[in-house]
Amino acid sequence: MGDFRASLSGTSPTPSLEPPLAALWWAAKGQWDEAHKIVQDENTRDAAWVHAYLHRVEGDLGNAGYWYRQAGQPVAKDSLEAEWERIVSALLGSGKA
């Protein structure tokens, strides 16, 4: 997590990042459109989870609910920051860094 967080000081994510993590990188930089563009055409549960998070950030809870279901994840009730941390940790923990 520390290396991922440290990479946020750069101008773009590491090219080796899987799309869901790259999207979370852009989300952390406040670049919602860039993050959304990355995950909207990905067909994985991880991408769906990030997609859900992004729609929650946007305030579109109905759309977020759809993507949480696609991801097989419960609808998040905690802060956006806590959810971001949880998703990053889960994705990094699964060896997708």
**SS3 assignment, position 12:** coil
Q: What is residue 2's predicted lDDT score, i.e. its pLDDT?
A: 84
Single-letter amino acid code for the residue at 26:
W
Q: Note the helical H segments in 1-97.
A: 2-6, 19-28, 32-39, 45-58, 61-71, 80-93
Q: In the chain, what are the domain boundaries? A: 2-6+17-93
Does residue 3 carry a pLDDT above 70? yes
Tell me the pTM. 0.93
Q: What is the topology classification, in CATH, of domain 2-6+17-93?
A: 1.25.40
Contacts of 55 (CB under 8 A, 6+ apart): 61, 63, 64, 67
Nearest Cα to Cα of residue 50 among 15, 29, 25, 13: 25
Tens-digit pLDDT profile for residues 69-86: 999 999 999 999 999 999
Tens-digit pLDDT profile for residues 7-59: 999 999 999 999 999 999 999 999 999 999 999 999 999 999 999 999 999 99
